[in-house]
Structure 1
Amino acid sequence: MEALLSTVHYWLVDHPAISQYEWKEGHTLGASPLFVAVTVISYLSVTLSLRRFAVLPDLSSAATLRYAAATHNVILCLLSLAMAAGCTLATLRQTPIHGRRWVVCFPAAVTLPRGPVFFWAYVFYLSKILEFRDTLLILLSGSCSRRLSFLHVFHHAGVVVGSYALLATAQSMLPVAVVTNAAVHVLMYAYYFLCALGHRPRWKKLVTDCQIIQFVFGNTMSGLMLYYHFTGSGCSGIWAWFFNTVFVALLLTMFLDFHSTNYSSKKRKDHDN
């Protein structure tokens, strides 16, 4: 068992490609505002065009689409698991060196985006672009009017910008953001994987509940970060934190509305029946 844990730790934290990782603005793949702008604008343009003009065929009954969806979801489920585990182990490795405060407050002006925690943040950033395929699968499934909501598109586009900001500014709270979001996505993509196989679990509401809890927990931890920021020498990436906090607050508002609309009305309907 010890040998297994040592092997896992090596491949998730100690491998040279991970332990010696460094984000270099303008050199690392995707490490530029131009890349982010082109990526997000392209996503929005293609999505809106495909939905407006309905040029894609309805493949809702095609077995190929179900297999493609299952493959996509299981890949992102396993990738999310790797990110959650890898970033957790990397954070535990570095916390004794920097202190527990470091988990929510990287020291301002001296923190550089390098090391295993930032490696997993980079994988997290790239995974958000990979998640654009969620939208394509919805468009191909012929369920645009029901599933392709403003919340879905806003979420997918905005999280790419926020993930870039995490890395570009070595933003404090990064370990909390990556671990909690990746953990929730393990559950979410496991749910969609089972749906693609034709087995729709009864815990869809749990996925939304966990997403809401994630946002609330992040905002709570942000309070601790702000305390450290204003009572000490400052926390790194405070402006990126501000952007991501506003973005998360908007998402939380929309998720609460989604939760109320979809689950409260269903509960009332079941009660009336």
Structure 2
Amino acid sequence: MNPIGSSLQYWLVNHPSILNFTWIPGQTVGASPLFLSLTLLCYLSLTFLLLLLRLPPLKPHILRSMSVVHNLVLLLLSFAMALGCIFTIVYHTPQLHWIICFPPKTPPSGPLFFWAYVFYLSKVLELVDTLLIIVGNSIRRLTFLHVYHHATVLIMCYLWLQTSQSLFPVALVTNTCVHVLMYGYYLLSALGVRPKWKRLVTDCQIVQLLFSFAVSGVMLYYHFGGSGCSGFSGWCFNAVFNASLLALFVDFHAKSYANRKTREAQKLKGS
């Protein structure tokens, strides 16, 4: 391996803090139902409170600076998580099929679970998205899909770690790759550039969810055809959540782009 690859492998996989990571309920920061419950309660309460108060929007330059920093941090963090999980899969996973089916009673420790933990904490940071929408007076962008996704994905990530859920490495890589694209779009938009690939972000999210169902079929084969896979109860929650997200994303996609086509057709008629 070249020096750059060796350096990345050390900092993304073999660093002692990553290699020796262990999720310990009640001890690791965020590893308790109380932390999860209070975070969700604060998020939902603050969202509804700010909507009721209807505070004056922030000045455009302040909001733009906040959005640039927020989206840049999440873009870089998503890239690091994707790269870290990929390096772990390639250089540390004992057997390749472990990324789909952990053996029963797998302890939540090691590099894969470290990156799942970073992913979990990043979902707390992502809740700021909602605050930026509200203080930017862009209430029309605050949909049920947005709030539901942000709140429920936090529970999903908690269960990944709490149950040592099988299949999360695949979900982590695909999700962070989509988020690199998504936060890249948001960052450029905050900088005043309007990329023409907004629809691509939604399309990729839908493809990601469809792919998760396809890979889940392989996991179920391993689970029921062998000695079982770790964290099956967590996967059940994940599957229901993904199904609900897919339905909401398809509905959002249909309404958003159907309305756009209608507006474009009306413009052509009027010209």
TM interval, shorter chain, is over 0.9
Corresponding residue of 1:2? 2
Runs of 4+ residues over 4 Å off in structure 1? none
Number of aligned positions between the proteins = 267
Corresponding residue of 2:76? 78
Deviation for aligned residue 1:92: 1.4
Residues 77-108 of structure 1 deviation map (CA, whole Å, 9 limit, x = unaligned): 0000000000111011233x2x2221100011
Mapping of 1:23-42 within 5 angstroms?
A: 23-42=23-42
Q: Secondary structure at the match of 2:24?
A: coil
Q: Match of 1:179, as an amino acid?
A: V
Contact 2:117 2:161 in 1 (8 A): yes
Indicate which of 121, 126, 129 corresponds to 2:116.
121
Distance across 2 between alignment mates of 1:190 and 1:112: 35
Mapping of 1:157-176 within 5 angstroms?
A: 157-176=151-170
Mapping of 1:56-67 within 5 angstroms?
A: 56-59=55-58, 61-67=59-65
Are 1:104 and 2:100 matched, yes or no? yes
Deviation for aligned residue 1:271: 4.2
Distance across 1 between alignment mates of 2:218 and 2:113: 21
Corresponding residue of 1:245? 239
Indicate which of 178, 199, 202 corresponds to 1:205.
199
Deviation for aligned residue 1:228: 0.5
Distance across 2 between alignment mates of 1:260 and 1:131: 25
Q: Secondary structure at the match of 1:63?
A: helix
Q: Match of 1:46, as an amino acid?
A: L
Q: Match of 2:128, as an amino acid?
A: R
Deviation for aligned residue 1:8: 1.3
Contact 2:81 2:176 in 1 (8 A): yes
Are 1:94 and 2:92 matched, yes or no? yes
Distance across 2 between alignment mates of 1:51 and 1:247: 26
Distance across 1 between alignment mates of 2:90 and 2:196: 35
TM-score, structure 2 normalization:
0.96
Corresponding residue of 1:264? 258
Deviation for aligned residue 1:268: 3.9
The root-mean-square deviation of aligned C-alpha atoms, in Å, is 1.2
Contact 2:89 2:96 in 1 (8 A): no
Gaps of 5+ in 1: none
Residues 169-194 of structure 1 deviation map (CA, whole Å, 9 limit, x = unaligned): 00000101111111111110010001
Q: Match of 1:90, as an amino acid?
A: T
TM-score, structure 1 normalization:
0.95
Corresponding residue of 1:13? 13
Contact 2:13 2:92 in 1 (8 A): no
